[in-house]
C-alpha cells in the first residue's frame, strides 16, 4: 500500500507546482501564457503601440502621408490621439466607433476616402491588431 502513496504524492505535488508557475507567469505578463479570452477586451494579448502599431503605420505608408496630411499625425502617440482636421480618429475602447478603423475598412468612410489612399487595403489580420489595440484602451505602450 505504501508503494502507491509515494507516486500519488509526487503527482499531486508536480500538479500544484505547475499550476503555481502558470499562475505566476500569467500575472507577470510572461509571453506564452494567456488567460482565457486573452485577459483583454476584445481578446488576444496586449497590443503595443510602439512595437506593433507604429510598425504597421510605417509598413503601409501611413506615416509618410500622416505626418501632417489632413492635420493628422499617426506618430508620435500624443499627436495620433489628438486627431486631425476631422477630429479624433481613435476612441479608446471603441474600435468600431473610431474613424481610424472606418477609414481602413469602409469602401466609403463617413469622411474622405478609404485608406491607404490609392493603396491596397490592409489585410484583415493587420486591421484586427489595430482594432484590438483600440479596444484594449489605445494605450501608449
- Residue 40: inside a domain, yes or no? no
Residue 19 has a pLDDT of 34
Domain limits for position 68: 49-135
pTM: 0.68
Specify whether the CB–CB gap between 128 and 139 falls below 8 A: no
Residue 56 has a pLDDT of 96
Residue 67 has a pLDDT of 83
Indicate the number of domains in the chain. Answer: 2
Residue 67's φ and ψ, nearest 5 degrees, are -110, 30
Residue 10 has a pLDDT of 42
Cell numbers representing residue 12 in the block: 499531486
Residue 80 has a pLDDT of 96
Are 61 and 105 in the same domain? yes
Q: Per-10-residue mean pLDDT for the chain, 141 residues long?
A: 51 38 35 36 78 96 86 94 95 98 95 90 97 98 96
Are 18 and 80 in the same domain? no
- Residue 38: inside a domain, yes or no? no
Closest CA to 75 of 21, 109, 99, 84: 84
- Residue 141: inside a domain, yes or no? no
Are 25 and 53 in the same domain? no
Residue 3 has a pLDDT of 54
Amino acid at each position: 500500500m505504501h508503494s502507491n502513496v509515494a507516486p500519488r504524492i509526487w503527482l499531486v505535488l508536480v500538479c500544484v507546482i505547475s499550476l503555481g508557475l502558470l499562475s505566476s507567469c500569467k500575472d507577470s505578463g510572461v509571453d506564452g501564457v494567456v488567460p482565457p479570452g486573452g485577459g483583454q477586451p476584445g481578446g488576444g494579448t496586449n497590443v503595443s503601440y510602439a512595437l506593433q502599431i507604429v510598425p504597421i503605420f510605417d509598413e503601409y505608408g501611413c506615416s509618410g502621408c500622416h505626418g501632417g496630411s489632413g492635420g493628422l499625425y499617426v506618430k508620435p502617440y500624443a499627436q495620433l490621439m489628438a486627431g486631425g482636421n476631422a477630429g479624433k480618429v481613435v476612441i479608446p475602447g471603441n474600435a468600431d466607433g473610431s474613424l481610424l478603423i472606418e477609414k481602413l475598412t469602409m469602401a466609403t468612410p463617413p469622411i474622405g476616402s478609404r485608406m491607404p489612399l490609392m493603396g491596397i487595403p490592409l489585410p484583415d489580420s493587420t486591421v484586427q491588431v489595430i482594432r484590438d489595440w483600440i479596444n484594449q484602451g489605445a494605450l501608449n505602450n
